[in-house]
Amino acid sequence: MTRAARIFAVENKLGQIAREPGGRRPEDSIKAADGRIEAARGASIAVLVEKAEQLGVLVANRQGNEASSLDGLYDISNAAYGLAGTFGLSALAEAAFSLCDLADHFRSGEPANWPAIEVHVDGIRLLANLGDKAAELGAESILGGLRRVRARVLPPA
Amino acid sequence: MSLPYTKTERVNLSTAEVLLACGDMQGLNIMCEMFAGFGVHTPRRCQTMAECKAVAQERIINLMVVDSALNDTDGYEFISWLRRAELDPNSFAPVILVTGHTRPSQIFRGRDAGASFVVAKPAAAMVMMQRIIWLMNDQRKFVNSPGYCGPDRRVKALGPPVGVKGRRHDDLSGAVGMATTPNLDQDEIDALFNPKAVAS
């Protein structure tokens, strides 16, 4: 016999606590949060460069452990995507997202197209090292190349 | 984008117990900076599902923000566990799921895990604050069923779609039946709009 669904009210404790006297105006909270995040920009870009290097190591050491290499590539590029997006590094975020697509596609069974992955990793390394200057130093042409590779290798979405 | 709040109102998260979980260390640091800006003093930082479980089992948490990628598993897994763990009140606590790249196979898992909200990366402070304010006012009921456990996913109370029979015992039928009692006369209708004390 299947169990019937139960639907019940729950106490909104967050609402009670957040309405206690004191606190900050939401606008002030957002400004403070943005300021603190911006202060972490330098450290975060350094971490992105590290992650890009880790991607290179995974690609270089893929012989014999392709499945775990693809998992690692996916996890690192996914983290890089979130971090790059937070700091407005849109070209790097797009490249990392595209590598997530590739890694996820190839770990689902089809033989991996390593040249396509290597091109992405090279692009990500370049974009991470360019950091904030990527847009003015030709990020669009790097992205154009990656988009063409992705379109050739992956089925259309 | 505007906030659903007036200029003078305040949000006090200084005493709120907040769990922040992300598998990536720098991602977690950024989340902590954001919530420090919101006035959260000592968030519980977690990188794995095991750490999340330990925190949820040992203290009352008022808000959880969970990345879809934890170090040992997916964030979805933790949220599904939490909702069914019968840890009162933590199993009913608001959970914001933060997603990065989402595999096609994971889209439905995110929906079905029982998160109160799903926020896509990059999660800006403005978006996160909007979601927190929304959750402060959240009156949704909690659903516990074999297929789903979490806040009611029907955010708007518009009833079932037209022409579809509601699945809940309190969903009303769209068909209007015949009157079962006599119509009110005009004096009775007037009294509803303009009640007066009657001297006994």
Q: Give the model confidence (pLDDT) of A105-140 as tens digits.
A: 998 878 999 999 999 999 999 999 998 887 777 888
Question: What's the mean per-residue pLDDT of chain A?
Answer: 92
CB contact under 8 Å between B38 and A24, yes or no, is yes
> Residue B110 and residue B77: Cα distance in Å, rounded?
9
What value does the mean pLDDT take over residues B82-87?
A: 95
- For residue A131, the Cα-to-chain-centroid distance in whole angstroms is 15
**Best mutation target, B121, B140, B148, to test chain A (most A CBs within 10 A):** B121
| Cβ neighbours of B26 in A, within 8 Å | 43-44, 47, 79, 83
CB contact under 8 Å between B38 and A29, yes or no, is yes
**Which chain A residue is nearest to residue B71, measuring alpha carbons?**
A75
pLDDT of residue A21: 93
**Which chain A residue is nearest to residue B37, measuring alpha carbons?**
A33
pLDDT of residue A120: 97
Q: pLDDT tens, A3-41?
A: 688 999 999 999 999 999 999 999 999 999 999 999 999
CB contact under 8 Å between B35 and A11, yes or no, is no
Global pTM value: 0.85
Of the pLDDT bands very low, low, confident and very high (cuts 50, 70, 90), residue B109 is confident
CB B106 within 8 A of CB B76: yes
| Cβ neighbours of B141 in A, within 8 Å | 7-10
- Give me the residue from B23, B103, B141 closest to A8, CB to CB: B141
> Residue B17 and residue B31: Cα distance in Å, rounded?
15
Q: Encode A71-116 in three state secondary structure.
A: HHHHHHHHHHHHHHHHCCCHHHHHHHHHHHHHHHHHCCCCCCCHHH
Q: Is residue A1 pLDDT above 60, yes or no?
A: no
CB contact under 8 Å between B37 and A101, yes or no, is no
Q: Where is mean pLDDT largest: B37-41, B107-111, B118-122?
A: B37-41
DSSP summary character for residue A4: P
> Residue B48 and residue B69: Cα distance in Å, rounded?
9
What stretches of chain A show up as alpha helix (H) in DSSP? 13-18, 26-39, 41-60, 66-86, 90-106, 114-130, 139-153
- Give me the residue from A8, A25, A86 closest to B30, CB to CB: A86
CB A5 within 8 A of CB B145: yes
ipTM value for the complex: 0.92
A143–chain B nearest CA distance, Å: 18
- Give me the residue from B27, B135, B139 closest to A82, CB to CB: B27
Tokens representing B93 are 């606590």
Of the pLDDT bands very low, low, confident and very high (cuts 50, 70, 90), residue B4 is low
**Torsion (CA) B128, B133, B139, B140 in degrees, nearest 10:** -10
Q: Is B42 on the interface with A (CB under 8 A)?
A: no
Q: Is residue B42 pLDDT above 70, yes or no?
A: yes
CB burial string A63-75: b at 16+ within 10 A, e below: eeeeeebbebbbb
pLDDT of residue B198: 67
